[in-house]
């Protein structure tokens, strides 16, 4: 073997060794805890042990490294260039509450025809959208054209705050991503750090910053009054959802008693 191949083989073997060790740690921690971790109230969050969490991060890192080492470069780049379709498929599933419709049917699943009736979507197109998500590990096809939640999609079921977080990306940020190439090459915005000279301003045709825009009033459906933006309730709810994901471990694991009589301030906790 050449020196380059030797180095690649050594990296694969090292990453596999790290992966196997982390998997063993994960299995040991799950066995001791009687599951993945502790379910925290209505947050839908499962807190692993510190050792289990570290092993979780190590597994993902090792798997990513192995994928980097063995992937066909052209195919990896093609997959990356197409991933916005996966995001859009998830946005559609969240908008039409597919996880809600599948809740309680984990074993037998729900036929796509029934899901189409509930959502008003075309059955064939909905089936293809769900298969895209299944191939990414979200939902599962238990029989041909019959779908069910898996452990990933189940967290969306009847979970309004987390669903809102997904929908904020669909309603607001997806358009921003589309405008990013224009913003990067813009002679002003491409070199600016101002909050009102961004891809957001191009995509939403505004000179306001994101938070200023979010607080502006828009005409009501009947045109007789000015009301809050339709995106605002989703954003406010989304902050609750993402807070549960990102802050639950902090609340339970941080040594708060060590602060004594210290004061904790939540800065920027909503709009």
Predicted structure pTM score:
0.89
Residue predicted with more confidence, 82 or 5: 82
Report percent pLDDT > 70 for the chain.
Answer: 98
pLDDT tens for each residue of 193-209: 999 999 999 999 999 99
Is the pLDDT assigned to residue 255 strictly greater than 70?
A: yes
Q: What average pLDDT is seen over the chain?
A: 93
112-156: per-residue pLDDT in tens? 999 999 999 999 999 999 999 999 999 999 999 999 999 999 999
Question: What was the pLDDT predicted at 271?
Answer: 41
The percentage of residues in the chain with a pLDDT greater than 90, rounded to a whole number, is: 79
Query: What is the model's pLDDT at position 124?
Result: 98
| 3-class SS letters over the chain | CCHHHHHHHHHHHHHHHHHHHHHHHHHHHHHHHCCCCEEEHHHCEEECCHHHHHHHHHHHHHHHHHHHHHCCHHHHHHHHHCHHHHHHHHHHHHHCCHHHHHCCCCCCCEEHHHHHHHHCCCHHHHHHHHHHHHHCCCCEEEECCEEECCCCHHHHCCCHHHHHHHHHHHHHHHHHHHHHHHHHHCCCHHHCCCCCCCHHHHHCCCCCCHHHHHCCEEECCCCCCEEECCHHHHHHHHHHHHHHHHHHHHHHHCCHHHHCCCCCCCCCCCC
pLDDT score at 268: 67
Quick check: 269 pLDDT over 60? no
């Amino acid at each position: 073997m050449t020196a380059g191949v030797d180095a690649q083989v050594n990296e694969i073997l090292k990453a596999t060794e790290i992966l196997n060790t982390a998997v063993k740690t994960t299995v040991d921690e799950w066995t001791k805890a009687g599951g993945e971790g502790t379910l925290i109230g209505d947050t839908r969050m499962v807190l692993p042990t510190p050792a289990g969490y570290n092993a979780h991060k190590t597994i993902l890192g090792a798997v990513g490294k192995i994928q980097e080492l063995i992937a066909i470069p052209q195919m990896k780049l093609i997959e990356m260039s197409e991933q916005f379709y996966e995001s859009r498929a998830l946005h559609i599933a969240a908008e039409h509450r597919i996880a809600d419709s599948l809740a309680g049917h984990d074993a037998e699943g729900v036929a796509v025809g029934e899901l189409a009736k509930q959502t008003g979507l075309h059955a064939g197109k909905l089936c293809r959208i769900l298969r895209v998500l299944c191939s990414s590990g979200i939902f599962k096809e238990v029989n041909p054209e019959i779908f069910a939640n898996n452990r990933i999609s189940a967290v969306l079921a009847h979970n309004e705050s987390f669903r809102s977080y997904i929908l904020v990306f669909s309603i607001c940020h997806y358009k921003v991503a589309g405008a990013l190439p224009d913003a990067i090459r813009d002679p002003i915005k491409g070199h600016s750090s101002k909050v009102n000279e961004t891809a957001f301003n191009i995509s939403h045709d505004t000179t306001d910053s994101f938070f200023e825009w979010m607080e502006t009033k828009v005409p009501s459906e009947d045109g007789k009054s000015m009301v809050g933006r339709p995106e605002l309730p989703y954003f406010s709810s989304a902050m609750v959802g993402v807070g549960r994901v990102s802050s639950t471990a902090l609340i339970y694991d941080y040594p708060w008693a060590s602060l004594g009589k210290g004061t904790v301030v939540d800065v920027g906790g909503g709009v």
